[in-house]
Structure 1
Amino acid sequence: MHLFFSVLLIVIIALAPAVLTGGLGAEYSVKIAVMGALLLLANMYLYRYRWGKVLVGVLTLLWGLNLSASAFFRREAGSQYIADLPALLSQEYTLPAGDALAGNIGITSFFIIVSVAYFGVVHLLSSVFPRRVIRNAGLSLLLLSFILPVEYYAMEKDKTPGLTVYDHYLLGTPLYNLSSVSMARRCNA
């Protein structure tokens, strides 16, 4: 596989969650794209090991579920859904959210397609890139993961009401919808 097509696949997969974020802002969209590319490269490294394939499978399912939930809530609540998602989860979509996602054949098909595509890209590209390159991407992902909580305090995000360091960290990753679960719990408490 040519390097150009490999890089093109990485860029498309890294930008997909950032496109569906629903108005998080440029700061979080850039973080999501960077963390998405590094996560994809780290998954390519982990895929080379037997236990890594299981971890990549779990991360693939989380990634696909996040994109599917984004597509569902964006269609239901509009393009600015991420700001209203905790309230939607705590009021309107308490228990039937999973049923609504599962009952919608389009969203379910989308989940299956993006999950299989992500896993397929990891499988294809894991043999293309040199081990050293993708190992260094994994180390970069680890270092960036330590920088995000520091940035939370440096940018005075701790003064933003309702935003914890955990929420700030997850909002900067391709799994940003997980932050809505903790926000919804705090809304209910």
Structure 2
Amino acid sequence: MHLFFSVFLIVIIALAPAVLTGGLGAEYSVKIAVMGALLLLANMYLYRYRWGKVLVGVLTLLWGLNLSASAFFRREAGSQYIADLPALLSQEYTLPAGDALAGNIGITSFFIIVSVAYFGVVHLLSSVFPRRVIRNAGLSLLLLSFILPVEYYAMEKDKTPGLTVYDHYLLGTPLYNLSSVSMARRCNA
């Protein structure tokens, strides 16, 4: 496989969550794209091991579910849905959100397609890239994961009401909708 095609696939997968974010801003979109590319490369490294395939499968399902939820809520609540998502989850969409998401055949099909595509790209590219390159990407992901909480305090995000370090960290990853679950739980408490 040509290097251009490989890099093109990585860029598409890394940018997909950033495109579907609902008004998070450029700061988080850049973090999502960078973390998405590093996560994809780390998954390619993990995929080479038997236990890694299971972990990659779980991360693939979370990635696909995040994109599907983004597509669903973006269509239902508009492009600025991420600011309203905790309230939507805690008030309007308590239990029926899962039913509405599962009942929508388009969103369910989208989830299946993006999950299979992500896993397929990881499978395809895991044998193409040299082990050293993707191992270093995994180490970069680990180091970046430690930098995001430090950045939370350095940029004085701790003074933002309702934003914890956990939320800030998840908002900078391709699994950003997970932060809405904890925010909704705090709204209900």
Q: TM-score, normalised by structure 2?
A: 1.00
Helix, strand or coil: the match of 2:176?
coil
Counterpart Cα distance in 1 of 2:49 and 2:181: 32
Offset of residue 169 of structure 1: 0.1
Offset of residue 164 of structure 1: 0.1
Counterpart Cα distance in 1 of 2:12 and 2:114: 12
Compute the RMSD of aligned alpha carbons.
0.2
What's the CA shift string for 1:56-107, capped at 9, x where partnerless? 0000000000000000000000000000000000000000111000000000
Counterpart Cα distance in 1 of 2:42 and 2:102: 30
Counterpart Cα distance in 2 of 1:165 and 1:42: 23
Offset of residue 29 of structure 1: 0.1
What's the CA shift string for 1:131-186, capped at 9, x where partnerless? 00000000000000000000000000000000000000000000000000000001
Counterpart Cα distance in 1 of 2:70 and 2:63: 11
Alignment of 1:156-175 (within 5 A): 156-175=156-175
Counterpart Cα distance in 2 of 1:28 and 1:19: 11
What's the CA shift string for 1:38-72, capped at 9, x where partnerless? 00000000000000000000000000000000000
Offset of residue 26 of structure 1: 0.1
Helix, strand or coil: the match of 2:69?
helix
Counterpart Cα distance in 2 of 1:10 and 1:16: 10
Counterpart Cα distance in 2 of 1:30 and 1:52: 27
Unaligned runs of 5+ in 1: none
Q: TM-score, normalised by structure 1?
A: 1.00
Q: Where does structure 1 differ by over 4 angstroms across 4 or more consecutive aligned residues? A: none
What's the CA shift string for 1:116-142, capped at 9, x where partnerless? 000000000000000000000000000
How many correspondences in the alignment?
Answer: 189
Offset of residue 3 of structure 1: 0.2
**Partner of 1:150 in structure 2?**
150
Find out whether 1:40 has 2:40 as its counterpart.
yes
Counterpart Cα distance in 2 of 1:98 and 1:89: 10
Helix, strand or coil: the match of 2:170?
helix
Counterpart Cα distance in 1 of 2:31 and 2:176: 11
Alignment of 1:122-133 (within 5 A): 122-133=122-133
Unaligned runs of 5+ in 2: none
Query: Identity percentage over the alignment?
Result: 99
